[in-house]
Structure 1
Amino acid sequence: MRTWRVGTFSMGASLIMLGLFLFFSKFLGLQLAEVLMAWWPVLLVVLGGEILIYLFLSRQEQPFLKYDFLSIFFVGLIGTAGIIFAVLSSTGVMGKVEDVMAREVRSYNLPNFNYKTDDSIKRVVVRTVGYDMTVEATESKEVSMFGTYRVETAKKTALLKNAQDIVTANQKGDTLYLNFKMLPEDAGLFHSQGILAATLLIPNHLKLEVVGNTDSLSLKPRTITNDWNIDSTSDVTVNVLKNSNLSVETTDVEQLQGKEWNIKEEPKGSDELNATLKNAVYQSGEGKYRIHISNAYDVNLNANQ
């Protein structure tokens, strides 16, 4: 006579139901984690029902339960996995994991930024946050910006809805202040940082001051009619026209690229860092307008435009 061991039926029934769950999940678009979280309580119902059925059908006055420990082990293993998924989901960790698994590198256009200037604005101050940027002089009377950004995200929509999400503009007296912001990003275990490349157009009659943050900056002054001052950037590339009426000066720069530089007396200091800093100048025409670059690591001059 075949002996009924509690757990055998539970394992068989559980495997059948798990297979059905996984089969229909393909049509319902469910993830494996969602199936396990919804399905694991059924294991307890099936195993408890098998015990009750065994006790009901047993004809012994004091029935003795016999267990199929191998079957119960596998049932418990699958149930434990479901409980773990449920706990991780309740703490938000599971959502983070699913988000990371669904992430893709996506590129979007920056929302266009436009700020009309009038005669009351004499100066523009730009504060960057570490992204690559090109600054170009324009004959337009409008400060504007365009470009692209790239982020790693599971969302299929752009993270930046309008220009105010990446830059704020405030006019105080005769100065327009532009403060850039960091791209939205997740902080924590699955941290990822976006990349931004923007072109900022500045009216050529306005004075410009850029306060960097160890970022790369490309300058295209073209026909500027005022002074530019660049401070605290890592790498600066200056593209100048040979027939332009400007001078480019550097102060406390570690490396200079380009044959057109006229190296001035290097700063004298007691420490090794100051001993390696360089001051230089390049002049085109009478050098009426000045671009002054200070506290940069590398400055590259292209005077063949």
Structure 2
Amino acid sequence: MDKIKEEIKKVLSNKNTLTIIIVIIGIICLYAIYNYRVTQAVTTIRVPYAKKELTSRTQITADSIGYTELPKRIAKNLGIVTSTANITSNYVKYGETIPANSFFYKDYIVSFEEATTNEFSDIPDGYTAYNLTVDINSTYGNSIYTGNYVDLFVKANSNANRVIFGRLIQGIKVLAVLDSSGNDVFESSTEERTPAQMWFALPDELYTLLKKTEYIGGITVMPIPRNASYSATDRDATIDSQYIQNYILSKSITISQNFNSNTDNQNTQDNANLGE
């Protein structure tokens, strides 16, 4: 035993021999690391994918799932869900679509409770959801998207039968664009959907003002898109034309929400000189 120790000491005390040993160990380590990486890169796993397009809030069932082989490392780096148990019986996230032959990503798969929430769930107090009727033309060929900020312009005829046209409200964020069946126009990549409703969240007083334009009649409200920088900045909806606002109010009665008194809480605004 002592002889073996002596031999080891002699070897280690020889700088040339020690250098060779270190180089050999280094080469072995590099080879082991390289071999591990290659193995990881070429090792494949069974990965689920969507056999058909799955639209927003669709429950994912076993018959809509197919399987293919994919390198394990790629699946991990891309955030692909590899376990079927984490997919089946869950739902596609609201506002998202999983195209046919696409893999399942964790950000697109949610529980039933999460799938049933939407943009309207987060409307703050003092705001009301407003639905503006639109079509393919008023949306500029379906070019106004969810999350865009738009301005609302108004066209009407004055008391003197003159055309009134101008921006009533500026800086309104689009909550959703839906078709006549209530489906999100932009969530499907294969089905062509025609816009019919554009939804906003407006302060209560602006909501009331726009509803009055519907009931008065003869007033057209149209969304006007702006550039990308306009939509990139968060902003609050504000009245831009006091003149148009007064025109609308002159044709309606504003009733206070305090119902304890009668006549005193009704304010009839009638400006006979508007538009003359």
Considering fraction of residues, name the structure with more strand: 1
Q: Which has the higher helix share?
A: 2
